[in-house]
Each structure stands twice: as C-alpha cells, then as structure tokens.
Amino acid sequence: MPFLIIQRLLSTIPVLLVVAVVVFLMLRVSGDPAAILAGDTATSEQIEAVRVALGLDRPVWEQFLGWIVQVLRGDLGESLFTGLPVTTLIGQRIEPTAMLALTTIVFSVLVAVPLGVLAAWRANTWVDRAVMVFAVLGFSVPVFVLGYFLMYAFSISLRWLPVQGYTSPFVDFGAFLRQIILPTLTLSCIYIALIARITRASVMEVLNEDYIRTARAKGQIERIVLFRHALKNAAVPIVTVIGLGVALLIGGVVVTESVFNIPGLGRLVVDAITRRDYPIIQGLILFFAFIYVMLNLMIDLTYAALDPRIRY
C-alpha cells in the first residue's frame, strides 16, 4: 500500500507537466490580454506598452520557463488584472465550491444508495420502475432548468429560501444552510440518478449470489441481507461512480454557481477564460488536475478497504 501511494504521488509529476505544457501553449494560441487590459480607447502604442510590461512580448519558451520555475517554487503567479496571487484567489473561492461539492455528494449518496437498493430489491415492480423513471429524468433535465424551477418554487413563490449567494458555515451556519439547499438539490439530481442506477445494477447482480441465498436461508432479516451482505459486496462499482462523480462535479459546478450566484472556483475559471487571465487559468487547471489525480488515488485506496480480495 505505501508503495502504491508513493508511486501514485510520483505519477502526478509527469501528468501535471503535460497539463502545464498543453494549457500554456493553448492559451498562447488564443491571443493575449493586453488589449483587454488597456481598455477600449487605448491606442496601439498603449496596448504594446501593456504587453511589454507584462512580459507578453517575450518568446513563448521564455515565458514558459519562467512560469515553470515559479510553479516549482509553489508560486502560481499573479492575476494579470487584479494583481492578486493566484493562490489567494483560489483560497478565496475554494470554500464555496468545496462546500457545494460536499453537500451534493453527501446528499446524493444518502438518497441514491437506498433508492438503488430499493429498486434492486423490488426489481421489475412499480417501485423499481418509479426509481428508474426518476433516474432518467435526473439525467435528462439540464441543471439550469432545474435550478430556475426550484428558485421559482422555493424562493419566488413560497419565499422560503434566498435566490442567491453564499455565506460560510463558519460565519453563519443558518445562512449557509438556507443558501446551499437549492444549489445542492439542483446539482444532486444528476448524481442521484447516476448513483441509483449503478447501485441498482450492482446490488441486483449480488442478490443472485449463493451467499445471499444462504443468508436468507439462515433466517437473516431482509434489511441486514440487503445492506450488510449485498450492498457491501456491490460497493466497488458504486464507490467508483461516486469518485468519478466528485471529479465530474468540479467541472459541473460552473452552471450551478452561475445560476445561484455562488462565488466559487467554477466562476473564477470562467471569468478568467473570458478575460484571458493566463496565470489564473493555468493555476486552476493545474490545481484541478492535481485534485483529479488525488481523487483517483483515494478511490483505489477505498477499493482495498472495501474488498479484502484487493491488495496492492
């Protein structure tokens, strides 16, 4: 196991290097932000002055080397627009995204796993079909449509919850809860659908195994059979989907953050792309790549914890 962890940590280096090269080159191909920075009425001379001041007139390889050396020192650079360090900007925005991801995953798992087990247990009955209809709907309804619908119902009509915003739970937990409910419901829908389907398929497969029949023959109550024997043995594919879900969620959070005006990483990256703020885009993509690699490592480690047959 320690060997696996070390090996996987080392493997992040070439992955991040490839990501860094690709992102850096693609951004340079897309043009530079000097004209945006200089403003609408800037003359060509002023735009060129900005370009020189930012070092954007230097050869690309020289800019790349400078940036890589900076990154190796743990410095992701500074925003070309605000002048703030990228790490500061990520630090300002990571909490809302992390909290939304956390509440979404927890809520999705709490709802989807029992639903999936229920559908498997009552396979081919109306219960099963109802769960699967919900799953198809969950996949099909775009996040922004669901978001606006929930906002209309709970914020505008019923006046129960605020339309937008984010408050840290460490500042005001009540406000945090009120503001996070609708985004969580919106974003959870697709993950509930995904996890419920996989759970159903996995549990159904396990329910046909001999040891389940044995457990039932021994007189175990059905709840124990389902959740202790069946679900535990069906857990590996479910954990895989949950893990991938977390990774996908980081990308998918952009729309939800926009609809509910949550100042998270998703909006930070979109704003940076719109302005061609290179250091932020580069820093964030590197950061996301690192998170993905770490998530995959955690999933692998979870396999071993769940299934004693898996050893690294």
Q: Which residues bind another protein (CB under 8 A)?
A: 30-33, 35-47, 49-50, 52-53, 79, 81-84, 89, 92-93, 148, 151-152, 155-157, 159-165, 172, 174-175, 178, 258-261, 263, 267-268, 270-271, 274-277
Distance CA 14, CA 20 (A): 10
What are the structure tokens assigned to 298, written together?
Answer: 């955690």
Closest CB to another protein among 182 and 204?
182
Tokens of 278: 């290179």
54/127 with CB nearer another protein: 54
Q: How far apart are CA 233 and CA 230, in angstroms?
A: 5
* 185 CB-near residues (< 8 Å, 6+ apart): 107, 146, 150
Q: Rank residues 102 and 161 by Cβ distance to another protein and give the closer one.
A: 161
Report whether 77 contacts 84 (CB < 8 A).
no
280-292: burial string, b at 16+ Cβ within 10 Å, e else: bbbbbbbbbbeeb
Dist. CA 121–CA 208, nearest whole Å: 11
CB of 190 closer than 8 Å to CB of 139: yes
Which residue lies nearer to another protein by CB, 83 or 308?
A: 83
| Residue 145 CA to its chain's centroid (Å) | 20
Shortest reach from residue 166's CB to another protein, in Å: 9
Altogether, the residues listed in the chain come to a count of: 312
Shortest distance in whole angstroms from residue 205 CB to another protein? 43
Residue 44 or 124: which CB sits closer to another protein? 44
* CB closer to another protein out of 172 and 222: 172
Closest contact distance (angstroms) between CB of 152 and another protein is 6
CB of 67 to another protein, least distance (A): 20
Q: What is the DSSP string of 113-125?
A: HHHHHHHHHTTTS
Shortest Å distance, C-beta 281 to another protein: 12
User: Nearest approach, Cβ of 112 to another protein (angstroms)?
Assistant: 28
